[in-house]
């Protein structure tokens, strides 16, 4: 199998020739490795929408910062700039002061897709496919397609109040951001990506941030429509859903609306084996490996043991092995140990 066949087999719950692996659900660059994906033998490549021309000065500024200045993922910071979202200024967002539907209608959402996006993405996908890799892509968003974009635009507390007390405002805003996500998802599907990456942190370690009932009212129907529209373009499209924390209460709902793969299944707050027993006939798992403390403070031997534990209890059908937490501060030795350990696994 090549990487594309391996990933598709694993994520459709078949038996691959070996365990596929990734480091995240975006292109991760490990310091000290000139080509992280190539050198570690990762199975997935990621395409991204080009930045609008007026973003180049901001991106040049980010690239000019010294290596010891850690600002997080540039892929996340660029949308912050596009949407005029400034968390460093406090909890208020660009729409915090809006009080009526007219106020919302007067706000102009950013242009997140360039006119040549379809051709640009299709060329990227074709080049990766020619080398046998699986390709994934996500819509541009403000941290997450729906919930996270909503609360960053409104401010966290204000948006939660909207969901409870001002549902007409919440519905209006979510209709607008869902339309952006749907448009971008259609472009990705037409470009030929294997995996559509949808991302919305609706949970924390102790459980859901909002109630499952609220999620089903405001978010599930819109997510379902995005998936339905993208699948109408490409029926073989695999749909991936990410949320940090314990989102167990909505896993069955995600399967119902067409999600194929869930991520990251953090082992300190979700039981991957129990999830696989309950939902393994409909969902694959992408992640499962390690806590934040293990990645940042553990040893290579402990990382190897964690990989073997996840593989022995979960795989190989329906599993793509990947860190369950960001590896921004993980020693390179731990990342190398992860890749080596996955390659050593027997099927």
Smallest CA-to-CA distance from 217 within 260, 265, 164 is with 164
- Per-residue pLDDT in tens (0 to 9) along the chain, 347 residues: 999 999 999 999 999 999 999 999 999 989 889 899 999 999 999 999 987 777 777 778 877 888 777 766 677 777 888 888 888 788 889 999 999 999 999 998 888 888 899 999 999 999 999 999 999 999 999 989 999 999 999 999 999 999 999 999 999 999 999 999 999 999 999 999 999 999 999 999 999 999 999 999 999 999 999 999 999 999 999 999 999 999 999 999 999 999 999 999 999 999 999 999 999 999 999 999 999 999 999 999 999 999 999 999 998 999 999 999 999 999 999 999 999 999 999 88
pLDDT in tens, 155-201: 999 999 999 999 999 999 999 999 999 999 999 999 999 999 999 99
Strands 207-208 and 284-289: unpaired
**Quick one: pLDDT at residue 60?**
81
Q: What is the DSSP string of 93-154?
A: -TTTT--SHHHHHHS-----S-TTHHHHHHHHHHHHHHTT-EEEE----SSSTTHHHHHHHH
pTM, two decimal places = 0.95
Q: Cβ distance 162 to 170 under 8 Å?
A: yes
**Quick one: pLDDT at residue 64?**
83
Instruction: Identify the helix (H) or strand (E) that includes residue 46.
Output: strand 44-47
**Quick one: pLDDT at residue 32?**
87
**Quick one: pLDDT at residue 88?**
78
Q: Cβ distance 11 to 284 under 8 Å?
A: yes
Q: Cβ distance 104 to 95 under 8 Å?
A: yes
């Amino acid at each position: 199998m090549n990487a594309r066949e391996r990933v598709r087999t694993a994520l459709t719950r078949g038996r691959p020739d070996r365990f596929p692996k990734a480091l995240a659900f975006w292109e991760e660059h490990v310091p000290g490795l000139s080509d992280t994906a190539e050198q570690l033998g990762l199975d997935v490549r990621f395409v991204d929408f080009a930045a609008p021309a007026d973003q180049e000065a901001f991106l040049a500024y980010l690239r000019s910062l010294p290596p010891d200045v850690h600002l997080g993922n540039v892929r996340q910071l660029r949308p912050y700039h596009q949407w005029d979202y400034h968390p460093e200024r406090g909890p208020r967002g660009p729409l915090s002061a809006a009080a009526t539907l007219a106020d919302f209608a007067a706000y102009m959402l950013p242009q997140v897709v360039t006119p040549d996006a379809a051709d640009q993405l299709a060329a990227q996908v074709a080049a990766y496919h020619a080398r046998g890799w699986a390709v994934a892509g996500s819509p541009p968003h403000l941290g997450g397609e729906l919930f996270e974009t909503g609360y960053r635009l409104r401010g966290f507390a204000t948006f939660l109040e909207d969901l409870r007390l001002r549902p007409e405002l919440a519905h209006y805003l979510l209709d607008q951001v869902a339309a952006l996500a749907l448009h971008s998802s259609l472009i990705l599907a037409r470009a030929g990506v294997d995996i559509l990456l949808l991302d919305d942190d609706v949970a924390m370690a102790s459980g859901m941030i909002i109630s499952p009932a609220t999620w089903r009212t405001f978010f599930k129907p819109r997510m379902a429509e995005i998936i339905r529209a993208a699948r109408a373009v490409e029926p073989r499209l695999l749909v991936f859903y990410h949320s940090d924390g314990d989102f167990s209460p909505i896993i069955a709902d995600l399967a119902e609306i067409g999600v194929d793969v869930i991520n990251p299944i953090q082992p300190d707050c979700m039981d991957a084996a129990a999830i696989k027993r309950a939902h393994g006939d409909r969902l694959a798992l992408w992640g499962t490996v390690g806590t934040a403390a293990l990645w940042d403070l553990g040893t290579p031997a402990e990382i190897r043991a964690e990989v073997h534990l996840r593989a022995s209890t979960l795989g190989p059908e329906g599993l793509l092995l990947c860190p369950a937490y960001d590896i921004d501060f993980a020693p390179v030795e731990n990342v190398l140990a992860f890749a080596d350990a996955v390659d050593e696994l027997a099927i």
